Structure 1
């Protein structure tokens, strides 16, 4: 003989706590900030006494170019090279940012600051062929007076 038994409904749920929550994987990224050399006749290369101005968006906010680590972007110099391409209106960064129309192209004598996923910061001067590591620039000026300038 069988007897019907009524059982209470049970629900099994996975409760995610902060200790067990899956962490979102953000691809490692390099951030590049271009410092435009505002010294007259600076196409011979960057010198520590040259005044530099950080490239900004048209609203005045800092322009930070982002490049995700990949087969193309493996180190600080690759990120600087990608920033150079964006700064010469040949490409966009990985967030779709392009170079502002009212800032001259990136040229010899400018400095590119690259922060890597390892939090190392490297300053690289743009040379005729490649880049050279330099100390952090100390003569920073406002780009407002230099926007759209190609007088150098």
Structure 2
């Protein structure tokens, strides 16, 4: 004997913006600043010089993470950037960490801009992150402790 089962109708809708395009996903972007001070692995201090991580062609390296159950806030995005910066995967656009730059370490600073355009600077600590003021001492990424040649 067979019994008929009635399923409720399911409608999948794609909500579009006024111009007909789909809304952009909420995105966090990360910029990693490598600490180039002699005592860089002892932690970040506001007077330490920092160099923004770049691609091999010297263009800015911006890591992108879509808001999700894994990326819910600025600190989650910083944690994801730290993982990419330690060659443990890629960002949500498939971008990996350049092989000519050292891994992200204690003393570095990660700048996270959230979907609402708010920006937070977080220093990498031995465990987790600490909020810090926006760095003011930026230098070119030429320090041999940060970059290395193949």
TM-score clears 0.5: yes
User: Post-superposition shift, 1:20?
Assistant: 5.1
1:25-74 Cα distance to aligned partner (Å, 9 max, x none): 21100000000000012211100000000000000000000000000000
Match of 2:147 in 1: 148
1:110 has 2:114 as partner: no
Q: Is the 8 A contact 2:36 2:143 kept in 1?
A: no
Partner Cα separation in structure 1 for residue 124 and residue 26 of structure 2: 24
User: Post-superposition shift, 1:24?
Assistant: 1.7
User: Post-superposition shift, 1:148?
Assistant: 2.2
Q: Is the 8 A contact 2:89 2:96 kept in 1?
A: yes
Of 91, 94, 97, the match for 2:95: 97
Partner Cα separation in structure 2 for residue 21 and residue 76 of structure 1: 30
Q: The residue matched to 2:142 in structure 1 has which SS?
A: helix
Distance 1:20 1:129, change over 3 A: closer
Count the aligned residue pairs: 131
Distance 1:50 1:72, change over 3 A: same
Runs of 4+, deviation exceeding 4 Å: none
Partner Cα separation in structure 1 for residue 19 and residue 51 of structure 2: 43
Worse-superposed segment, 38-47 or 133-142: 38-47
Match of 1:51 in 2: 49
Q: Which runs of 5+ in 1 are unaligned?
A: 1-18
Larger Rg: 1
1:76-104 Cα distance to aligned partner (Å, 9 max, x none): 00000000000000010000000000000
Match of 2:130 in 1: 132
User: Post-superposition shift, 1:126?
Assistant: 0.2
TM-score (norm 1): 0.83
User: Post-superposition shift, 1:112?
Assistant: 0.1
Match of 1:87 in 2: 85
1:23 has 2:21 as partner: yes
Q: Is the 8 A contact 2:141 2:147 kept in 1?
A: no
1:131-150 Cα distance to aligned partner (Å, 9 max, x none): 0000000000000234425x
TM-score (norm 2): 0.84
